[in-house]
Structure 1
């Protein structure tokens, strides 16, 4: 296939569909962490295409402390708690992914699906736990973070004065903030049902923006859990995707809304910032950010349609959607930088990884 926007293409000999991708740097080279439908993890070097399996120690996935059951009862008898433990379901454990570095080594943060704890603790328990793993050894780092009643829908890692923070939002709208290294709880935030979340450092302050089944978004201090101002109204009845970036010297919130439109809002005032961007035929499910020539660029992933790239400063789409003729829409999308230039990386039903030029 000949497409001038595709700079690299790496087929998968096994042909297993890619279900998620997150960028990171390994040994100085750009790479992605990916997962298959069975929950297995691997890395792909974006310069050579080499893939390496990355198993994690699922035997350590269980919470260290008793967890309330569906009735809110905590079984604190140690023997009873041990008897309840089952085997971790890899698919549930790695429902969501984020990658970062801790003390110089690459680590993977995973958010569990709604039946994550069910597999481990029995049918009276539900919810997704958040965990951190050493990517090289597969060993768990710190404690298993519980507290989500349903599945984790969004993950982020932010620097702070207290060290790196993990933010996990879930279907029921609970956002939990914890220390990356230890798993210690830092804050608990009540956001909107459906748990859409984005996070960033704004003016030196780690913040989270939450939305979902409400016609507004809310901004929170990630260290204290306190609201920053009141709710910011949106144009639509619900928010399906969120991101935070800088535009013309100010922080802006990007929202994917019910009318399939990408909008920008001034984070401080809640007022519209720029022209709404339309083109998707269905719900915008994810927004990934990068920069091109210093300008903020958003990559939007619609339901069962090719991703689109938007120059936010110019309020225009960059080129055609990232479609492969004769193929279904990508199954996973992320953005990274290769040799200093922005790139979009897509995963596909047949396991292929493609690297796309942003500016072409």
Structure 2
């Protein structure tokens, strides 16, 4: 094993190392007495050395040395010291998937996950991190999931939604198999998070996956109407079986000899992996979505969009009974290891427990705010874990109907879940293209931040730089202290999600737009709703306030812009010309003479506010335009788009001066620094990017836990506020520009 010094030296930026233990130390770590000092002795150097290797996994493995019994028995190393090392390792593990892609984010990730820990060694490490000299976005508050909680690591590699997950039964080296919309299956090492192998062969989405009891073969089900049989050792596709419609689910009998598959053709099919007679089960009146087999291999339980569960005898091939009680489609079914109970999940947001021996309904689990997509049961039949479109997993006590814990961290619907054979870990899959590993034994709460309970859609900063206003899908606005990052008050009154916010120049009032078809004017001092603007039956998508604080411009999904008198609440005029789709964003030039609007029709339009007339159109984006911002001199406009670009337009010449390319996903928001030299973009791939407006150079990047939907820059030009789909509001500072 190389020394920790050598491993840590590998942690580098693209052109510059951040931290380095004394490079003269080349000997292997031989004395446990030196380990703690080595792991916490972070010396900063400014060495502009190109170094492409990034040994974050090697560093994580070095921290595993602290689990050695010889070290733990040393009086010198108390429990607090060991816990500190484990926290640092945990932070690196949580950020490993980000650091592999963005090497320069080491300092930002450590600050975002650890600055709330009141531990001297950790605080010293973070002070060292802050001394790096390259530009970076420094979190001002703990804004990321912290180590020591339930989430252990994130697995990334699929390019599409992950639909299913299965875990090998062998406990020696736990492997995870995932199936995805990218038409592949991936094999992961659960300890390291490494993508070991990819199975390619399906020509459409892979919906389901199951592993034979001996852990040697994998069965996959796909929308291409086939089942794939894969050998885990050589990694080859052995054969496929055909359905007449897409295959939705698959299960393997406990003896590993037979496979049950279900399809949109409403038929369940039995396939023999060894020579034998195949069979079929028919009786559902709608597509079959889920199947499970009893531990003794004698019965099959199927769930369907006909809202029922059916029990079939695998030995005779006959139907036995139907369970009815859900009021919507069935999505998942699982059987307790003792074979006595069936747990079902549904679009009706509930789980139900059925007694397989008596055929009776026993109880219902309620708590998810959206449809339940998957379930798994621990081997002792004590706990059930459910996944949901509400982006969470919930752990339930099967005996007392109690929700013991909620796991939050995915940025999209959770589509699948599986539990390791020792009942210590759960692995979840999501349409955010990731898998996450959760510790079922850790009860600590990851949610250290105060935020919204749903996606943050808009943020704005007062001109005096004292407060931040955020709007959310949870129908509220929050007022935050920009210096401390703490929320001070909440505005409630909208009956639907808040889509946009704007603040008057005197920093005394805020106006919000909502899907409830209204604008509301709030007093920032008293918290009162002073006025509601309502003029049509269409939801309001964007809002901007003129520099004189007298007029408000709103955009709507009726494809129009409207102007309102802020004092009287009266509607003045409507800008109608030219839009063929929703207006998504609006901005007013500093001189108050023009308004720039953006639309889903892929264009931006310029309007004369004095005459109310249309002036020109900016065309060039290949997908809908999501956001727009204007430079302080009013001469240039920057637009963001679902086509993954930013474009800089000259208002006078009507020309696109440059295009910013380099985003890996759709751009959801954009903001310009007051000096007009830099721009920040928010992305659906969980990142914020700072750009030099003149050179198109990417200055700094920060990656959060979920997609960013809004961002704003304070008057100082370096303080940034951004909102996530998770509900977090991030406070960051651009350093070393």
Pick the TM interval, shorter chain.
Answer: 0.5 to 0.7
The Cα shift of 1:241 comes to 2.4
| Partner residue of 1:51 out of 138, 151, 176 | 138
Residue of 569, 577, 592 corresponding to 1:234: 577
The whole-number CA distance in structure 2 between the counterparts of 1:251 and 1:46 is: 42
Q: Is the 8 A contact 1:130 1:146 kept in 2?
A: yes
RMSD, aligned α-carbons? 3.6
Judge conservation of contact 2:502–2:512 (CA < 8 Å) in 1. Answer: yes
Which of 286, 309, 315 is residue 654 of structure 2 equivalent to? Answer: 315
| 8 A contact 1:154–1:196 mirrored in 2 | yes
Contact 2:477 2:492 in 1 (8 A): yes
Aligned to 1:200: 545
Seen in structure 2, the aligned counterparts of structure 1 residues 151 and 354 have a Cα distance that, compared at 3 Å, is same
3-state SS in 1 of match to 2:453 = helix
Shift of 1:358: 3.7
* Per-residue deviation, 1:341: 4.2
**1:326-349 per-position Cα deviation (integer Å, ceiling 9, x unaligned):** x513645423337x4422123453
Give the equivalent residue in structure 1 for 2:121: none
Matches within 5 A, 1:308-347: 308-319=647-658, 321-324=659-662, 328-329=664-665, 331-337=667-673, 340-347=675-682
Q: Which one scores higher on RCO, CA 8 angstroms, separation ≥ 6?
A: 1
**Aligned equivalents of 1:136, 1:93: Cα separation in 2:** 23
Query: Which structure: larger Rg?
Result: 2
Deviation at 1:151, TM superposition (A): 1.0
Distance in 2 between the 1:105 and 1:295 partners? 22
Deviation at 1:152, TM superposition (A): 0.9
1:265: which partner in 2? Answer: 607
In the TM superposition, what is the alpha-carbon distance from 1:263 to its structure 2 partner? 0.9
Q: Distance in 2 between matches of 1:357 and 1:308?
A: 10
Q: State the shift of 1:145 in Å.
A: 1.4
What displacement does 1:359 show? 6.6
- Indicate which of 482, 486, 490 corresponds to 1:139: 486
Is the Cα–Cα contact under 8 Å of residues 239 and 255 in structure 1 kept in the other structure?
A: no
CA 1:50–1:209 in structure 2 vs 1: closer, same or farther (change >3 Å)?
closer
Q: CA deviation at 1:238?
A: 3.7
CA contact (8 A) 1:15 1:352 kept: no
**Among 483, 501, 505, which residue is 1:159 paired with?**
505
Partners of 1:258 and 1:283 within 8 A in 2: yes
Equivalent position of 1:69 in the other structure:
none
Structure 1 residues not aligned, in runs of 5+: 3-12, 18-34, 37-43, 57-86, 117-127
Q: 1:244 — aligned with what?
A: 587
* Larger helix proportion of the pair: 2
Aligned counterpart, 1:150: 496
Task: Provide TM-score, normalisation by structure 2.
Answer: 0.33
Q: Structure 1 residues 179, 191: closer, same or farther in 2, change over 3 A?
A: same
* Cα deviation, residue 154, structure 1: 0.7
Tell me the SS of whatever aligns to 2:579: coil
Q: Which of 528, 533, 552 is matched with 1:189 structurally?
A: 533
Q: Write the deviation string for residues 219-275 of structure 1: whole angstroms up to 9, x where unpaired.
A: 012233222x2322131244322323338x6611222234311111112322112x3
CA deviation map 1:5-33 (0-9, x unaligned)? xxxxxxxx83788xxxxxxxxxxxxxxxx
Partner Cα distance (1:238, 1:313) in 2: 25
Relative to 1, partners in 2 of residues 1:312 and 1:141: Cα closer, same or farther, differing over 3 Å? Answer: same
Q: Give the corresponding residue for 1:175.
A: 519
Measured against aligned partners, the alpha-carbon deviations of 1:176-225 in whole angstroms (never above 9, x if no partner) come to 110123321121112552312232224x2432112222243210122332
Q: Taking structure 1 as reference, are residues 187 and 358 closer, same or farther at Cα in structure 2, changes over 3 Å only?
A: farther
Q: Displacement of 1:94 after TM fit?
A: 5.8
Q: Residue 692 of structure 2 is aligned with which of 352, 356, 359?
A: 356
Q: For the structure 1 residues 331 and 317, does the alpha-carbon distance in structure 2 shift closer, same or farther, using more than 3 Å as the test?
A: closer
Distance in 1 (CA, whole Å) between partners of 2:477 and 2:488 is 11
Unaligned stretches of 5+ residues in structure 2? 1-13, 16-91, 99-111, 114-129, 144-446, 697-737
Residue deviations 1:33-86 (CA, integer Å, cap 9, x gap)? xx99xxxxxxx9998424124369xxxxxxxxxxxxxxxxxxxxxxxxxxxxxx
SS at match of 1:256: strand
1:100 to 445, 450, 461: 461
CA contact (8 A) 1:194 1:212 kept: yes
Q: Flag the 1:15–1:178 CA change in 2: closer, same or farther, 3 A.
A: farther
Alpha-carbon distance in structure 2 between the residues aligned to 1:15 and 1:96: 28
TM-score, normalising length from structure 1?
Answer: 0.64
Report what 1:29 is aligned to.
none
The CA distance in 1 between the partners of 2:97 and 2:528, in whole Å, is 36
Q: Structure 2 CA distance, aligned partners of 1:89 and 1:322?
A: 34
